[in-house]
């Protein structure tokens, strides 16, 4: 006999208007950042509200028949924050703490990010409140296919294009693409990016976010007369973004002295052997217990005496309690929203340069864009072409943001937000308001 239960982490969310998000939450951080940009740009309340409010949202129930026969229910969301510059673009997250406000924040950041790196996209995001580690591959496939079919009216290669985020990967995107294509009756690779190469993925997509992080770090260091080979780096999060960032930093001569994941962290002040660490993680599923390293907690890692700190896990880790202890001179945000508004103020007070998420981790969406262009043309580029185009976009975007920051005496975050928000607002104004 089958039973139906509701999984605890995903109890029904509130659909209260997103005007007053919980203090310290991702949405509160996103709203505070937009408010600062709107003030610098002198926007009136009407325009500010329009930019703060998602265009479309969908909340879906995702029932799953477990391998045991039991039925459980999850909540899923897709939010299109803004589509003025093009179709919505943004990842799909599987994490137990996903709720509609988090997805709204992540969708808003995607809008500014795509605009900062000049992509013809709006911002979107999706999520299912599930801990993927607790489910088999077959169960995750069923969750993905059901979620995709529930949000089908909202997505498409010209309307809203998904990519992997926390807890999802290239295989997840293949399932989304297949479900969408089967329902349409023909193969539509451009409905997702971050797919496996065998079904129209792009060379370089798997490491693009991390490569972009290293490009902007290099540009920021160069402004201080330093190079990647001069610096030590600590990275929080050793998933798709953090692990490849560690690899690329190490390959370019940086000393990666500490890394962590959700189970804990490790450090070695002489530098970790990253290729061996990657093998260890493949084997054991965690960085913890790697030989030739000492244990360090996630909180301790944030306060290590390093040159560059890369938070590449979850939101809100640099807040009023932790940001004041950061000793790094540069924080390069691999994760989305790792710094709260209170954390940002503390980092600024201590002269820590923050390369913000909407710039620092944009490499992933840049190569997602390249993948979408290739899928639309059915013509594939070489890995070198992609690497060169990515580097050019990242360095150009960094230079624009940094020039504005210096000219107007802004932080890099405010400068990036001003550039992104202004491009979106201009598109609104030029297009006009329908009807």
**CB distance 295 to 265 below 8 Å:** yes
| By CB under 6 A, residue 237 contacts ligand NAD | yes
Residue nearest to ligand NAD (CB): 239
- Characterize 112-132 residue by residue with b for buried, 16 or more Cβ atoms within 10 angstroms of its Cβ, and e for exposed: bbbbbbbbebbbbbbbbbbeb
**CB distance 55 to 83 below 8 Å:** yes
Return the residue of 37, 313, 418, 419 that touches ligand NAD, per CB under 6 A: 313
Return the residue of 107, 140, 241, 390 that touches ligand NAD, per CB under 6 A: 241
Shortest distance in whole angstroms from residue 319 CB to ligand NAD = 13
Q: Kindly list the strands in the beta sheet with 232-236, ordered across the sheet, starting from the edge strand earlier in the chain.
A: 294-296, 264-267, 255-261, 232-236, 308-311, 330-332, 353-355
| By CB under 6 A, residue 79 contacts ligand NAD | no
User: Residues 4-43: x/- map of binding to ligand NAD (CB under 6 A)?
Assistant: ----------------------------------------
| By CB under 6 A, residue 166 contacts ligand NAD | yes
**CB distance 237 to 334 below 8 Å:** yes
Return the residue of 21, 87, 122, 164 that touches ligand NAD, per CB under 6 A: 164
Query: What burial class does residue 59 get, using C-beta atoms within 10 Å of its C-beta: 0-12 exposed, 13-18 middle, 19+ buried?
Result: middle
Return the residue of 261, 307, 319, 371 that touches ligand NAD, per CB under 6 A: 261
Shortest distance in whole angstroms from residue 358 CB to ligand NAD = 10
Q: Which of 215, 205, 209 is nearest to 398 (CA)?
A: 215
Return the residue of 43, 175, 238, 370 that touches ligand NAD, per CB under 6 A: 238
Shortest distance in whole angstroms from residue 298 CB to ligand NAD = 5
Q: Which of 196, 215, 205, 207 is nearest to 239 (CA)?
A: 207
Stretch that binds ligand NAD, among 15-23, 234-242, 388-396, 401-409 (CB under 6 A): 234-242
Stretch that binds ligand NAD, among 58-66, 67-75, 236-244, 419-427 (CB under 6 A): 236-244
**CB distance 323 to 341 below 8 Å:** no
Give whichever of 189 and 334 is closer to ligand NAD, judged by the CB atom.
334
Shortest distance in whole angstroms from residue 408 CB to ligand NAD = 26
**CB distance 51 to 425 below 8 Å:** yes
Stretch that binds ligand NAD, among 153-161, 260-268, 369-377, 419-427 (CB under 6 A): 260-268
Q: What one-character DSSP code corresponds to residue 200?
A: T
Paired tokens of 243: 């692990």
Give whichever of 92 and 405 is closer to ligand NAD, judged by the CB atom.
92
Q: Which of 262, 256, 261, 295 is nearest to 276 (CA)?
A: 256
Stretch that binds ligand NAD, among 154-162, 248-256, 328-336, 419-427 (CB under 6 A): 328-336
Residue 381's alpha-carbon distances to 363, 400, 406, in angstroms, are 17, 27, 36
Catalog residues that contact ligand NAD under the rule CB under 6 A. 164-167, 209, 236-242, 260-262, 298, 312-314, 334-336, 361, 364
């Amino acid at each position: 006999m089958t039973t139906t239960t509701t999984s605890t982490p995903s109890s029904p969310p509130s659909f209260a208007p997103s005007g007053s998000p919980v203090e310290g939450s991702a949405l509160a951080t996103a709203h505070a950042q937009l408010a600062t940009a709107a003030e610098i740009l002198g926007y009136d309340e009407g325009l500010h509200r329009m930019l703060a409010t998602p265009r479309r949202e969908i909340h879906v129930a995702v029932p799953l028949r477990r391998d045991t026969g039991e039925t459980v229910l999850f909540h899923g969301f897709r939010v299109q924050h803004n589509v003025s510059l093009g179709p919505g673009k943004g990842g799909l997250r599987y994490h137990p703490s996903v709720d509609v406000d988090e997805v709204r924040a992540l969708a808003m950041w995607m809008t500014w990010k795509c605009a900062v790196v000049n992509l013809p996209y709006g911002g979107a995001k999706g999520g299912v409140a599930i801990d993927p580690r607790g489910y088999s591959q077959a169960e995750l496939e069923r969750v993905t296919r059901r979620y995709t079919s529930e949000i089908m009216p909202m997505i498409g290669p010209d309307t809203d294009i998904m990519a992997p985020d926390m807890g999802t990967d290239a295989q997840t995107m293949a399932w989304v693409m297949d479900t969408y294509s089967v329902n349409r009756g023909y193969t539509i690779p451009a409905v997702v990016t971050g797919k496996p190469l065998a079904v129209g993925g792009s060379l370089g997509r798997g490491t693009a976010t991390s490569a972009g992080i290293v490009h902007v770090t290099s540009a920021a260091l160069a402004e201080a007369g330093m190079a990647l080979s001069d610096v030590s780096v600590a990275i929080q999060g050793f998933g798709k973004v953090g692990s490849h960032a560690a690899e690329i930093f190490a390959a370019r001569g940086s000393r990666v002295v500490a890394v962590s994941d959700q189970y804990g962290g490790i450090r070695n002040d002489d530098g970790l052997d990253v290729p061996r660490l990657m093998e260890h993680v493949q084997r054991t599923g965690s960085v913890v217990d790697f030989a030739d390293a000492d244990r360090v907690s996630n909180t301790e890692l944030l306060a290590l005496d390093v040159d560059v700190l890369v938070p590449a896990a979850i939101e809100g880790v640099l807040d009023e309690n932790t940001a004041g202890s950061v000793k790094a001179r540069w924080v390069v945000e691999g994760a989305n929203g790792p710094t709260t508004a209170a954390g940002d103020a503390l980092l600024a007070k201590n002269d820590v340069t923050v390369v913000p998420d909407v710039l620092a981790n944009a490499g992933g969406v840049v190569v997602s864009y390249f993948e979408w262009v290739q899928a639309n043309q059915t013509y594939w580029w070489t890995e070198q072409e992609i690497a060169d185009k990515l580097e050019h976009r990242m360095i150009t975007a960094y230079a624009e943001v940094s020039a504005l920051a210096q000219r107007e005496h802004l932080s890099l975050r405010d400068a990036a937000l001003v550039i992104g928000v202004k491009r979106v607002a201009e598109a609104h104004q030029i297009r006009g308001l329908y009807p």
